Amino acid sequence: MNCDFVAERVELYVFGELDFHEEELLEGHAATCAHCHALVEEHRAILRLMNEVEVMPPPALLSQSRQELLRNLSAAQQMPASWIERIKAWRQAWIPAWPILLKPALGCAMLALSFYAGQQMEERKSVNAAGLPTSRIRTITGTGNGMVQIILEEPRQRMIEGALNEASIERALLAAVSQSPDPGMRMESVDLLRNRCNQDDVRKVMLKTLERDDSPSVRMRALEALRPYSGELDVRQALSRVLLKDSNPNVRVQAIDLLVDRPPAEIIGTLQEAIRSDENDYVRSRCLRVLSQMRASPGVF
Amino acid sequence: MDEAATIRAAQAGDHEAFETLVKIYDQQVLRLAYNLLRSSEEANDIYQEAFLRVHKNLSKFRFDCSFHTWLYRIVTNLCLDSLRKKKVRKEEQSVIETSDGPKDRLNMAAEQRADLDPERKLLSRELRERIEGVLAGFTPRERMVFEMRHYQGMRLRAIGENLGTTEEAAKNCLFRATQKMRSALGDFV
């Protein structure tokens, strides 16, 4: 271990892209070497500078784009299909696709390959999620069929697989939402948990994420996950606080949308407060519009 | 309904399911396109083209990869094309539209943080020019990899998959981008 090792890897280290072992070595050396410590801090500072130029779309753009897409889709559906597309549709409907015949053979080949790969890669064991220890979570990926893959490091990487409703998988996802320093991983975990917000522990973490996560994108995803529960008291209270306190106008606008989905009278006070205090014109105009739809006054008398 | 069921319903022609699918991902798509292209009009063009392509080709989606990866392949290809065209035309500009009218995005970002501190404001102006230079100096591919890793928080493995390349190639792109940032901004830190 020397300074060259750090110099060659510092770029990947600051992005969290080194494996556990290399990260341990680098941190161990940087803790005792002033030069390498300064090098790491310099790279971190550069990334903080780059944060200065991150921009978010104007709040109105999303709804404009959605409306335009709906118009484009309905125009596309009214257009007659070309003769090539009609032939393709006819072929798909009537001729059984030839790859079906190859599927059994391909299946056997994949099985043989998996068996071979399984023998070669002893370190990446696929284990039952029930055996999940407290480990460092490296990546979380939804496989699209209700299953999840989680790569853990302890300190070697290994893979666990399990269904979303398994307690240990859920625990790992909740830990990732609350503790991961990587906003991408937090986002992915929030998405995977979105259909489980009826569970008390998931709901609690989701509400905390909505109000406290550093990343507006993660807060936005938590907000989307809570959409089906926007009529319930704890969610409504959190949304009201978000509308009045969140630093991001996109998040505040989405909070308004959810609050007015099923508007009870008590939201009027929150909207009036937002009109008085919000610095963003668009957020204030949305509040005003909603109050006028509810036939309520924009001011407090 | 979980995502796979929503996709299957949309493949079977359920419009509401397609709309649900759009709403799950469209904020991320718009944010990526907007931060890369810095223009509402161009970000909206990418949004429209991407989701129209998804709608047209959804029947061909076979769950070989996650829907997120499939969608992002379409979006990143469209964004890369736009970035390349911009580069050729040398039309990169930093003016964006806001609810208060057009503004220089870098001035805006600096002002938001420095308006109470004149010394910092002065520093921010110089810094702004440097960062502008860094972003303009990235190749479209470097810009895309940096955007996806730093601002979108995606892992290099997923970035490689989305861009149809290897994790190693994405890593090299990020490495080059970091070197460029360091040589331009090193004396600021």
Three-state SS sequence of chain A: CCHHHHHHHHHHHHCCCCCHHHHHHHHHHHCCCHHHHHHHHHHHHHHHHHHCCCCCCCHHHHHHHHHHHHHHHHHHHHCCCCHHHHHHHHHHHHCCCCHHHHHHHHHHHHHHHHHHHHHHCCCCCEEEHHHCCCCEEEEEEECCCCEEEEEEECCCEEEEEEECCCHHHHHHHHHHHHHCCCHHHHHHHHHHHHHHCCCHHHHHHHHHHHHHCCCHHHHHHHHHHCHHHCCCHHHHHHHHHHHHHCCCHHHHHHHHHHHCCCCCCCHHHHHHHHHHHCCCHHHHHHHHHHHHHCCCCCCCC
pLDDT attached to residue A160: 78
Using the beta-carbon criterion (under 8 Å), do B150 and A224 form an inter-chain contact?
Answer: no
pLDDT attached to residue B119: 46
Residue A6 has pLDDT above 50, yes or no: yes
pLDDT attached to residue A151: 75
Using the beta-carbon criterion (under 8 Å), do B47 and A65 form an inter-chain contact?
Answer: yes
Between B148 and A87, residue with greater pLDDT: B148
CB A284 within 8 A of CB A292: no
Name which of A22, A49, A284 to mutate to probe chain B: the one with the most chain B Cβ atoms within 10 A of its Cβ: A49
The partner residue sitting opposite B30, judged by closest CB among A47, A54, A57, is: A57
Using the beta-carbon criterion (under 8 Å), do A55 and B34 form an inter-chain contact?
Answer: yes
Residue A290 has pLDDT above 90, yes or no: no
pLDDT attached to residue B70: 93
Query: Which positions ≥6 away from B120 have C-beta within 8 Å?
Result: B113, B114
Residue A270 has pLDDT above 80, yes or no: yes
What residues of chain B lie within 8 A of the CB of A225, using their CB?
Answer: none
- The radius of gyration of chain B from alpha carbons, rounded to an integer in Å, stands at 19
Residue A113 has pLDDT above 70, yes or no: no
| pLDDT, mean over chain B | 82
In chain A, % of residues over pLDDT 70: 75
In chain A, % of residues over pLDDT 90: 23
| pLDDT, mean over chain A | 78
Q: How many CB atoms lie within 10 A of CB A279?
A: 7
Query: Which positions ≥6 away from B72 have C-beta within 8 Å?
Result: B162
Q: Among A174-188, A257-271, B93-107, name the one with the lowest average pLDDT.
A: B93-107
Average pLDDT over residues B101-114: 45
Using a 10 angstrom Cβ sphere, with 0-12 exposed, 13-18 middle and 19 or more buried, the burial of residue A298 is middle
Q: Dihedral through CA A142, CA A143, CA A148, CA A149, nearest 10? A: -100
Using the beta-carbon criterion (under 8 Å), do B127 and A146 form an inter-chain contact?
Answer: no
Only one residue has tokens 């006070």, namely A269
For residue B59, the distance in angstroms to the closest alpha carbon of chain A comes to: 10
**Alpha-carbon gap, residue A135 to B172, rounded angstroms:** 29
Using the beta-carbon criterion (under 8 Å), do B27 and A217 form an inter-chain contact?
Answer: yes
- Among B136, B75, B148, B102, residue whose Cα is nearest residue A58: B102
Average pLDDT over residues A163-192: 86
Q: Going by DSSP bridges, is the β-strand pair A126-128/A157-163 parallel, antiparallel, or unpaired?
A: parallel
- pLDDT category, B145, cuts 50, 70, 90? very high
Average pLDDT over residues A268-275: 84
pLDDT attached to residue B92: 41
Among all residues of chain B, which has the CA nearest to that of A249?
Answer: B99
Using the beta-carbon criterion (under 8 Å), do A17 and B155 form an inter-chain contact?
Answer: yes
Only one residue has tokens 């790279």, namely A43
- Domain residue ranges of chain A, discontinuous segments joined by +: 3-43, 232-301
Question: What digits encode the pLDDT tens for the residues A100-110?
Answer: 545 555 554 55
Task: Provide long-range contacts, Cβ within 8 A and 24+ apart, for B170-174.
Answer: B170/B145, B171/A12, B171/A17, B173/B141, B173/B142, B173/B144, B173/B145, B173/B146, B174/A11, B174/A12, B174/A15, B174/A17, B174/B142, B174/B145, B174/B146, B174/B149
Using the beta-carbon criterion (under 8 Å), do B153 and A42 form an inter-chain contact?
Answer: no
Question: What digits encode the pLDDT tens for the residues A210-253?
Answer: 999 888 888 888 998 998 888 888 998 999 999 998 888 888 88
Average pLDDT over residues B117-126: 56
Residue B129 has pLDDT above 70, yes or no: yes
Q: Which helix (H) or strand (E) holds B101?
A: strand B101-104
Residue A128 has pLDDT above 70, yes or no: no
Question: What digits encode the pLDDT tens for the residues A26-45?
Answer: 999 999 999 999 999 999 98
Task: Give the count of Cβ contacts less than 8 A between chain A and B.
Answer: 160
- pLDDT category, B25, cuts 50, 70, 90? very high
Q: Is the peptide bond before A264 cis (omega within 30 degrees of 0)?
A: no
Residue B38 has pLDDT above 50, yes or no: yes
- Domain residue ranges of chain B, discontinuous segments joined by +: 1-92
**Alpha-carbon gap, residue B76 to B145, rounded angstroms:** 10
- pLDDT category, B115, cuts 50, 70, 90? very low
Q: Among A254-258, A264-268, B101-105, name the one with the lowest average pLDDT.
A: B101-105
The partner residue sitting opposite B52, judged by closest CB among A76, A146, A186, is: A76
Between A182 and A73, residue with greater pLDDT: A73
Average pLDDT over residues A271-278: 85
Using the beta-carbon criterion (under 8 Å), do A187 and B153 form an inter-chain contact?
Answer: yes
Residue A20 has pLDDT above 50, yes or no: yes
Query: Which positions ≥6 away from A78 have C-beta within 8 Å?
Result: none
Q: Which helix (H) or strand (E) holds B102?
A: strand B101-104
- pLDDT category, A157, cuts 50, 70, 90? low
- pLDDT category, B67, cuts 50, 70, 90? very high
Average pLDDT over residues B39-56: 95
Q: Which DSSP state fits B65?
A: S
pLDDT attached to residue B21: 93
Name which of B3, B106, B126, B146 to mutate to probe chain A: the one with the most chain A Cβ atoms within 10 A of its Cβ: B3
- Select from 3.90.1150.10, 1.10.8.420, 3.40.50.720, 1.10.1740.10 the CATH code of B1-92: 1.10.1740.10
Indicate whether this complex's ipTM tops 0.85: no
What residues of chain B lie within 8 A of the CB of A183, using their CB?
Answer: 153
Task: Please tell me which of A48-57, B14-23, B78-87 the model is most confident about, judged by mean pLDDT.
Answer: B14-23
Task: Please tell me which of A97-101, A132-136, B117-121 the model is most confident about, judged by mean pLDDT.
Answer: A132-136
- pLDDT category, A118, cuts 50, 70, 90? very low
How many residues does the structure list for chain A? Answer: 301
Residue A72 has pLDDT above 50, yes or no: yes
CB A230 within 8 A of CB A262: yes
Residue A277 has pLDDT above 70, yes or no: yes
- pLDDT category, A88, cuts 50, 70, 90? low
- And the tokens for B68? 């997120």
Residue B107 has pLDDT above 80, yes or no: no
